[in-house]
């Protein structure tokens, strides 16, 4: 089936008084090129007194309506759409729609270019504000956890021992091999570096003290906490975040249960138990790794290694390292659970908050470890 297209055009009769502008033919996309040339040629040759005749207008589409706007102007076209008796209802509605669209349209105002320095300062300001807001949220969440723990301390019927034991297995027992392997290798590396540097001073024997001091006071708890921040905090965020995305948290609240008591407290208690145990394991494995290097590279026998440990290393160094473990465990668990509860409801949100939990946990652990190191140094412990 073929469609006949009537040639279109526009002519100006300047001899008549007043002048007349006659619109004829099909003002459609098929005639767009011809009509564009004609409207350009007629531009500026008529004024507001010119009578516009639409009796010979054929078909009309949006392309033709746009050309009529260009030819007549939006205001004149709006008047014709309301008053011209020769227009069909469909054409009148089309012209009226185009007119209203042009009335509502406004050219976007281009924003002024912001200097690079101002953009940098603005981003720094937003980052500092976000850090402050996150800090307030973490502190508030820690307060809620402590308040809930104190409320449930004397209510044994509400203790969720099965959940705590399951999380201890997940966070502690399953993480023991990687913690042991990593600290063993780091202990060997520290001993090797110490032997390399101290041998030039004839003090290779002090490699034993270097390994023991570093792992009992710092490396044991710090490496374990960083591993837990990457492994456990992300797991807590992903688990609780998935429940939040699936509206399971809302279901728990609907049943009259507390998500904090049901999901957060068992994870916090589990990590409070697991992290000190893993820290002790990390200390032992790090010292064993250093002892292996001392035995192979420095000819320091295991008996001599243990004798030097007994004579040079006091128990306070062990206590300093173990004292930091519960604080790190509490903060890692709190941050991981809080980020999980902040998930909005999409897979992308789960991934973003999981990443945020790992970054925040590692940052907090390193900052607190540095503060603790300065404090214990000033105290002479």
152 or 105, greater pLDDT: 152
Average pLDDT over residues 238-249: 85
Average pLDDT over residues 145-154: 85
CA dist 301 → 290, 296, 305 (Å): 12, 9, 6
CA dist 144 → 61, 139, 141, 148, 335 (Å): 65, 9, 5, 6, 13
Question: Taking 60 as the threshold, does the pLDDT of residue 348 lie above it?
Answer: yes
pTM given for the model: 0.68
Q: Is 114 strand, coil or helix?
A: coil
Rounded to the nearest integer, the mean pLDDT of the chain is 82
Query: At 1, is the pLDDT very low, low, confident or very high (cuts 50, 70, 90)?
Result: very low
Of all helices (H) and strands (E), which one includes residue 43?
A: none
pLDDT of residue 104: 64
Task: Identify whether 130 is preceded by a cis peptide bond (ω within 30 of 0).
Answer: no
Please tell me the least confidently modeled range out of 4-13, 57-66, 131-140, 215-224. Answer: 4-13
- The 10s digit of each residue's pLDDT in 288-318 is 998 888 888 887 888 888 888 888 788 888 8
- The 10s digit of each residue's pLDDT in 108-123 is 667 777 788 888 899 9
- The 10s digit of each residue's pLDDT in 61-73 is 777 777 777 777 6
- Domains of the chain, CATH where assigned: 9-104 (3.30.750), 126-379 (no CATH)
- The 10s digit of each residue's pLDDT in 246-296 is 888 888 888 888 888 888 889 999 999 999 999 999 999 999 998 888 888
Q: Is 70 strand, coil or helix?
A: helix
pLDDT of residue 107: 64
pLDDT of residue 179: 92
Q: Give phi and psi for 324, each to the nearest 5.
A: -80, -20
N- to C-terminal Cα separation, the chain: 97
**20-27 vs 9-13, strand pairing mode:** antiparallel
Question: Taking 60 as the threshold, does the pLDDT of residue 3 lie above it?
Answer: no
pLDDT of residue 226: 92
Question: Taking 60 as the threshold, does the pLDDT of residue 4 lie above it?
Answer: no
Q: Is 111 strand, coil or helix?
A: coil
Question: Taking 60 as the threshold, does the pLDDT of residue 2 lie above it?
Answer: no
Give the residue from 197, 367, 179, 199 showing the smallest Cα distance to 283: 179
Q: In this structure, are residues 346 and 244 in contact, taking their beta carbons and an 8 Å threshold?
A: no
Question: Taking 60 as the threshold, does the pLDDT of residue 163 lie above it?
Answer: yes
| Residue 51 DSSP one-character state | E
């Amino acid at each position: 089936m073929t469609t006949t297209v009537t040639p279109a055009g526009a002519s100006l009769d300047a001899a008549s008084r007043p002048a007349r502008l006659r619109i004829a033919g099909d003002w459609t996309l098929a005639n767009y090129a011809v009509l564009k040339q004609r409207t350009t040629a007629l531009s500026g040759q008529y004024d507001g007194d010119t009578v516009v005749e639409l009796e010979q207008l054929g078909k009309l589409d949006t392309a033709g309506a746009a050309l009529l706007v260009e030819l007549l102007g939006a205001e004149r076209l709006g008047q014709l759409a309301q008053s011209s008796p020769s227009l069909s209802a469909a054409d009148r509605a089309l012209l009226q729609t185009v007119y209203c669209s042009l009335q509502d349209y406004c050219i976007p105002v281009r924003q002024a270019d912001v200097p690079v320095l101002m953009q940098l300062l603005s981003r720094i300001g937003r980052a500092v504000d976000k850090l402050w807001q996150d800090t307030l949220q973490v502190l508030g969440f820690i307060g809620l956890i402590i308040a809930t723990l104190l409320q449930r301390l004397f209510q044994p019927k509400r203790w969720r021992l099965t959940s705590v034991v399951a999380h201890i297995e997940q966070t502690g027992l399953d993480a023991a091999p990687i913690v042991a392997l990593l600290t063993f290798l780091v202990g060997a590396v520290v001993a090797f570096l110490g032997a390399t540097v101290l041998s030039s001073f004839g003090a290779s024997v002090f490699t034993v003290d270097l390994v023991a001091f570093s792992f009992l006071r710092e490396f044991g708890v710090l490496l374990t906490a960083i591993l837990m921040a990457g492994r456990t905090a992300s797991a807590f965020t992903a688990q609780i975040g998935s429940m939040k995305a699936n509206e399971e948290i809302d279901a728990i609240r609907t049943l009259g249960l507390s998500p904090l008591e049901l999901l957060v407290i068992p994870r916090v208690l589990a990590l409070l138990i697991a992290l000190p145990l893993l820290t002790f394991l990390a200390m032992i494995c790090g010292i064993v790794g250093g002892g292996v290097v001392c035995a192979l590279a420095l000819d320091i026998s295991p008996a001599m290694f243990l004798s030097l440990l007994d004579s040079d290393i006091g128990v306070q160094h062990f206590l300093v390292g173990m004292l930091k473990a519960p604080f790190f465990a509490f903060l890692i668990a709190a941050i991981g659970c809080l980020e999980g509860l902040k998930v909005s409801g999409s897979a992308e949100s789960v991934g973003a908050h999981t990443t945020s939990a790992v970054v925040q946990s590692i940052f907090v652990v390193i900052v607190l470890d540095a503060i603790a190191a300065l404090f214990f140094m000033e105290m002479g412990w």
